[in-house]
Structure 1
């Protein structure tokens, strides 16, 4: 097995050097080994982070099932996509990276190729659904419950999986095909096919899974940001703080002590209330802007390299013109979305972090209490019953053992 390991690595490194048009010398082998180590470490980190964070999301939603909202349904659907990516795709990509070849058979290659397309499509479409849900909640909050009902929520989630399945089936039935590509670490669609009909499928996939979601998300989050900014401006315009400041700064009237003592606290309270309201709106506006930017940058950072490589290989009809490290990195970043999504869409919320902290602290407190009870449980000899009994001493008492000798 170790011999096959070494042969796979050597074949992979030799292939990388031949792609660069040079013979594999010691420096090239060292450089490729460093790249292999970096990508492998990155995949391992993504796997551990994704499984832990998405497990926490499931735990959080399980504990707050009674207060489960429609927005939580969309987030739970995204979490399911992330778990499929972490458990089905990443381990086999990591093994293929180490071996330098696909060792799991042709059938499993077709299965993982289909799952990869299926989960990636479902993930990007779910991000679109989440953006639409936020749009309705922020732009028209009074009509949100009428627009986003629970039945429509289930319909949208079902539509996401159906569309993802329709997008992923064509390579199985002959429109393009799944095959293992060394630098992509996993079985994927043959992006560099010289068949023009296969190229049409590649472009169709890019349009549905990347271009369309990108356009929708840019429009939705720009509208959300403008709406938050407009509401903030209206609030500041209607605030009494500027008028109070203007009246108090330009008024020449000098109040006596009695009037000053009675009106000053009122003006102070008004000023404090309106100043607090304005600060809250400033904060909400800033949080909305930051959230929109983070969501957009996360989507671009994770998915743009992946789909850019697809477009380049499709148009050039060759993967030799795209650097091998770029191909590997594009797949790694797409897989990293499974770890980024929980941070952006769930744990960035202060309420979600607080609820998870309470759950973990409650479990820690329960375990600590059980341990303390074990230490506080003492064996006391009862002379009347002539047998030992287990007695739980009160916390205020000093633990002790008693034994009476006749």
Structure 2
């Protein structure tokens, strides 16, 4: 009898937040709500970005669009993979091995976010080459090299987290919704140092170096034009202040995406380092920092849609196409009444 009571007591799900537990539905309501909300936002947002890229040919003129699309597909897969913790909290994964499911999910999320991080670093390198080597850009950045770079991003991201399957630390996912992940799967200082040295640090340093030089060069061009204009007056055919560095505006859009990425990931990386060193460990911090970092998968498309004029035009084209399809499916009398209202 006591063993059955103990079994019943172990049935309630593992809740990191320790609030919002529903005995009626036997689930962590607050965690399910947060994860499902982010899942819907990430999937819908990145699906819109993918459709807009197909509707706006201007977006494909930049070679950086290949990296942006790679990042978008990775973010979309992050949203799809987030269905796993939702199903786990709703008791739909009871037949699966918790240890294996936890490892696979943690590995997938880590690899996909690594692809996003590496893609942003490659975007910054691409813009750096475009501004510092404009005459040789087309010979340096070829479609073949672009495809090879994207392939290497996926391979590198997949390989760097693979040791976690063989017991060498935790790959990085900390918003543990499975008890085994939180209680038995521990971080390792050596593996954390390995990830930081081969992924986080190189990506961050590359971004800082490239964008620092991009804005320094653009400011130098603008200053030279202003000095020439002050000395000799406006010259015919001379580029304006906004045209002094034509790639600066597009670089600013990408810089915003990169900045928000690292701002949202900084709390997570900090917690990752502190937990690995045995300095600080807390379930609430684990959940919040992890899902704050994962929310970046939606923020990327939001920033891109608000900052890029070509993207906004493509979004309008997509919306008008959807409206035309809706109008074409309406009965003739409804369409006629709708057009009469507009007249």
Query: What is the CA deviation profile of residues 348-368 of structure 1, one whole-angstrom value per residue up to 9, with x for unaligned ones?
Result: 211111112112113313432
Q: 1:54 to 1:30 in 2, by over 3 A?
A: closer
**Structure 1 equivalent of residue 164 of structure 2:** 171
**Structure 2 equivalent of residue 325 of structure 1:** 284
**Structure 2 equivalent of residue 131 of structure 1:** 124
Shift of 1:81: 0.7
How many positions carry a matched residue from both structures? 323
**Structure 1 equivalent of residue 274 of structure 2:** 312
Q: TM-score, length-normalised on structure 2?
A: 0.77
Q: TM-score, length-normalised on structure 1?
A: 0.66
Q: Pick from 221, 224, 230 the counterpart of residue 220 of structure 2.
A: 230
2:55/2:314 contact within 8 Å kept: no
1:348 equivalent to 2:310? Answer no
1:178/1:188 contact within 8 Å kept: no
Q: CA RMSD for the aligned pairs?
A: 4.1
Shift of 1:46: 2.1
Q: 2-side partners of 1:332 and 1:366: how far apart?
A: 36
Which consecutive unaligned segments of at least 5 residues does structure 2 have?
A: 1-6
Q: 2-side partners of 1:179 and 1:297: how far apart?
A: 21
Which consecutive unaligned segments of at least 5 residues does structure 1 have?
A: 18-28, 246-269, 378-394, 397-406
Q: 2-side partners of 1:5 and 1:78: how far apart?
A: 43
**Structure 1 equivalent of residue 4 of structure 2:** none
Q: 2-side partners of 1:227 and 1:184: how far apart?
A: 45
**Structure 2 equivalent of residue 298 of structure 1:** 260
**Structure 2 equivalent of residue 79 of structure 1:** 72
Shift of 1:59: 1.0
1:70-219 mapped onto 2 (5 Å cutoff): 70-88=63-81, 90-96=82-88, 104-106=96-98, 107-176=100-169, 184-185=176-177, 192-193=186-187, 198-219=188-209
- The secondary structure found in structure 2 opposite 1:12 is coil
Give the greater-gyration-radius structure (CA). Answer: 1
Q: 1:141 to 1:112 in 2, by over 3 A?
A: same
Q: 1:95 to 1:376 in 2, by over 3 A?
A: closer
